[in-house]
Chain A
């Protein structure tokens, strides 16, 4: 690998989002209108006109395309359009890598990273490969779906069970992730689930895919979020203090393939992981930062055990040690590494990671509801999922 070059050359200057709706709540508005609202708000936050946006970066096959967005805003021109492969929140950091490269290399001036979800009709993310009908499966899932592996919960339950088997990780330790999310959300007025829960509540919630209970699984939402990325130089002239992109990385380890959505032929260590070991290596190398430098972390929480495995992949504890790590209170607001201070997918809203970036930006601007004192470095980890998964490292200083 060559010397890191990208670090600090791009910055976030604006964030915006729609209201947080229950799945299907905004069906009458639709995905595109939600995307437009979030992007307009992010541009307003940055102090630019949406007409100045000349680059577009998204992920998870977002339905709001540059072909529709640029003319809707009357943009002067399009200079960059990039889609990060991968489903769910896996490609989130990949979209930031694409946006950062585009502005740092001068390909575009202002790139919007956006994600919009509005689940009208018959299909939803939680049904994953079953979708709305149960006809013959697509070839790529013919070795999983016909055997009953249909939902994201099924897939991540397999990793979770293996982690429990190898390391003695417990359901109480999974519960701590969910309890922490609710505690954070209690102080976030826009979070959807703000009532605190106990270990007993967690254990009493119904089983979805053993060992995952309802309170191990995130919600689904109708929501859009957007972020304006520009060059570090241009960022100094924007309305808000820049939050610098210290690194963005995407990747996957050897034979990760579709991750838990495939047949599981990665190494045994990677099977019981979030698949983000190599992303972490690249992110730390590029940023020149390490786990000890992170003041607050947003770790994608579609399922509670994936936060534990993310903590391991990113080196906050050793392999297999994440259960004890969280049980000792380390991810709470007063812990050594506060995690998901907005409430995350479990308690705030499910926006495929874009709202995790928003929270990291608020932390570094010093205006979060659950503000971590003197937060200067924030890690945002995208969803464990198919190749590539990804992450972003943000810092308040250039």
Chain B
């Protein structure tokens, strides 16, 4: 169960996404990269949107990026999540990727409502779910 947000659904891996979750469990963010044209893509899928190649590798990413959009959730969607209180869901656009911008749905820790801004620089850390996996999450960038 998530340490930061206990009670949320846990991820389920597939053949294609297994490597992402294994890396996350080891504290690394990996993004799919096309072996032929080099385009990055997320969430993981079976073909390259740019060149249609079905060959790919996992590419480790620094986890540096910017807030692309966000929402503060006030209403508990489920009674079992009332303990979470007000929390953010954020779309993070990663720095230094090849091809179309690469965005992840995640959340930013260490910020209160009103403190989160679009284009704000963020950096990676991890929310431990269990021995097998962790969630790549973000916090305001400490290094300029």
Residues on A lying within 8 angstroms of B by beta carbon are 126-130, 134-139, 141-151, 153-154, 157-159, 161-162, 165, 206-212, 255, 262-265, 268, 271
Contact = CB atoms under 8 A, between A and B. Distances in A.
B104 interface: yes
B68 A130 contact: no
B105 A143 contact: yes
A134 B69 contact: no
Contacts of A206: 74-75
A143 to B, nearest CB: 4
Contacts of B9: 129-130, 134-137, 141, 145-146, 150
Interface string B14-36: 10010000000000000000000
Contacts of A141: 9
A22 B17 CA distance: 40
Contact of B11 (A136, A210, A211): A136
Given A136-B12, A142-B13, A208-B74, A162 B69 contact: yes
B144 to A, nearest CB: 22
B91 A146 contact: no
Contact of B137 (A128, A147, A153, A158): A147
Given A148-B88, A154-B89, A210-B72, 16 more contacts: A134-B7, A136-B11, A138-B12, A148-B84, A149-B89, A158-B69, A158-B71, A162-B68, A207-B75, A210-B113, A212-B71, A255-B49, A263-B43, A264-B69, A265-B100, A271-B69
Contacts of B77: 126-128, 130, 150-151, 154
Contacts of B70: 158, 161
Interface residues of B, number: 45
A241 B73 CA distance: 48
B61 interface: no
Contacts, number: 140
Contacts of A264: 68-69, 91, 103, 105
A268 B100 CA distance: 10
Interface of B: 2, 5, 7-14, 17, 41-43, 49, 68-75, 77-78, 80-81, 84, 87-89, 91, 100-107, 113, 118, 129, 135, 137
A343 B127 CA distance: 44
Contacts of A263: 42-43, 91, 103-105
Q: Which of B12, B13, B49, B103 lies at the interface centre, i.e. has the most chain A CB atoms within 10 A of its CB? A: B12
19 contacts: A127-B77, A139-B12, A143-B11, A145-B9, A146-B8, A146-B129, A146-B135, A147-B106, A148-B5, A149-B89, A151-B73, A154-B71, A158-B71, A158-B91, A208-B74, A209-B71, A209-B75, A264-B91, A264-B103
Given A130-B78, A154-B89, A255-B49, A147 B14 contact: no
B30 to A, nearest CB: 13
A137 B74 contact: no
Given A162-B118, A264-B69, A210 B103 contact: no
A157 B87 CA distance: 13
Contacts of A145: 8-9
A142 B100 CA distance: 22
Given A144-B105, A255-B100, A263-B91, A134 B8 contact: yes
